[in-house]
């Protein structure tokens, strides 16, 4: 069916108007006369029906010259219409192909921009991760320095503790020797005890005083030793915490190194994808250049078809002029 209200009567009216104006009633001319409405295939079908109807009405009435003129006209019209149809099909194919190539080019450009932004974000994240890694490295070095100081302090405390323990052992040895001396004095005979009783008691009191002093000194040393052991425990606890923090920093540094490796892998993948897109873009540009060359070839074919159509129209005019019957002047009456 015709589109936009086009029918056979409307096409016939437009055709007659063009003929009255001395113009060739081609498909494009009729479509322009109709206000650029209606499909070319429908107009062509109606024109063919009109030509067949006119041929039926004029059957038996045409002379040889008129039949030849009609045949040449029909052939020229058909050739023009066929050439125009091929040109229209080629133009539509070229427009569709160019639209597809332009869409592919736009999509490739959008993907390239998106990958470029993703690569910039990845590089920024990598830079931040490297900065955090450097900060953690500095913290780790500071913790190592602190651990070294704590270890040195612990060694000093251990040395002091060993010195105190040696002093305690010396005092205990003195106490043991004093007790041995007391036992020796107790083992003296009863005859000597009466004579040396007072002296022995004095010595015993003196020794007891020395023992008391030694015990007091031992108690003080023991208390100092207890305090040193508490300090040592606190230092060992702080050393354990520092070691745990150091292990956490080492683990975090390893995690950052894995993250850096992953970001480097992502950067490599993004670089590969960008190269693939660049290759696709080059292929798309090459296809577009081929399409332009094809369009140029279609344009040259269109120009050649138009030249052939003009030559046919010129030949048709010449044939009409050659087949036009001569004008015979009427005889004058006396």
The pLDDT of residue 331 is 46
Q: Give mean pLDDT in consecutive 10-residue pieces for the chain, a chain of 334 residues.
A: 68 91 90 88 90 69 62 79 79 86 89 87 86 87 88 86 84 81 75 75 81 80 82 81 82 84 84 82 82 82 85 82 59 43
Residue 259 lies in a domain: yes
Residue 15 lies in a domain: no
Residue 221 lies in a domain: yes
Residue 179 lies in a domain: yes
The pLDDT of residue 37 is 85
The pLDDT of residue 85 is 76
Number of domains in the chain: 1
Residue 84's CATH number: 1.10.287
Measured CA to CA in angstroms, residue 312 lies from 12, 63, 73, 195, 316 at distances of 24, 22, 9, 171, 6
Residue 272 lies in a domain: yes
Q: Which domain holds residue 301?
A: 62-321
Residue 31 lies in a domain: no
The pLDDT of residue 2 is 38
Residue 119 lies in a domain: yes
Residue 73 lies in a domain: yes
The pLDDT of residue 236 is 85
The pLDDT of residue 62 is 52
Specify the long-range contacts of residues 264-273, CB closer than 8 Å, at least 24 apart: 264/126, 266/122, 267/119, 267/122, 267/123, 267/126, 270/115, 270/118, 270/119, 270/122, 271/119, 273/115
């Amino acid at each position: 069916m015709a589109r936009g209200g086009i029918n056979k009567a409307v096409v016939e009216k437009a055709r007659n108007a063009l003929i009255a104006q001395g113009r060739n009633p081609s498909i494009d001319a009729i479509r322009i006369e109709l206000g650029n409405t209606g499909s070319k295939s429908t107009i062509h079908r109606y024109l063919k029906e009109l030509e067949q109807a006119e041929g039926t009405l004029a059957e038996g009435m045409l002379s040889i010259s008129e039949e030849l003129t009609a045949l040449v006209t029909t052939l020229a019209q058909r050739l023009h219409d066929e050439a125009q149809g091929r040109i229209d099909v080629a133009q539509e194919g070229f427009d569709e192909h160019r639209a597809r190539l332009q869409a592919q080019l736009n999509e490739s450009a959008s993907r390239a921009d998106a990958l470029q932004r993703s690569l910039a974000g990845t590089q920024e994240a990598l830079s931040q991760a490297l900065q955090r890694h450097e900060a953690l490295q500095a913290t780790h070095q500071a913790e190592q320095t602190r651990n070294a100081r704590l270890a040195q302090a612990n060694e000093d405390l251990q040395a002091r503790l060993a010195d105190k323990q040696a002093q305690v052992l010396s005092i205990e040895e003195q106490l043991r020797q004093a007790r041995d001396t007391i036992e020796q004095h107790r083992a003296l005979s009863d005859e000597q005890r009466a004579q040396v009783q007072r002296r022995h008691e004095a010595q015993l009191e003196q020794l007891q005083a020395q023992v008391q002093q030694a015990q007091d000194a031992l108690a003080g040393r023991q208390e100092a030793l207890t305090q040193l052991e508490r300090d040592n425990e606190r230092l060992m606890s702080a050393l354990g915490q520092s070691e745990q923090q150091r292990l956490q920093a080492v683990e975090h540094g390893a995690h950052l190194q894995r993250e850096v490796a992953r970001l480097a892998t992502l950067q490599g993948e993004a670089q590969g994808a960008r190269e693939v897109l660049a290759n696709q873009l080059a292929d798309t540009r090459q296809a577009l250049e081929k399409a332009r060359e094809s369009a140029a070839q279609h344009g040259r074919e269109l120009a050649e078809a138009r030249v052939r159509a003009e030559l046919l129209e010129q030949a048709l005019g010449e044939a009409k002029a050659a087949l036009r019957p001569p004008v015979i002047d009427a005889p004058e009456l006396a």
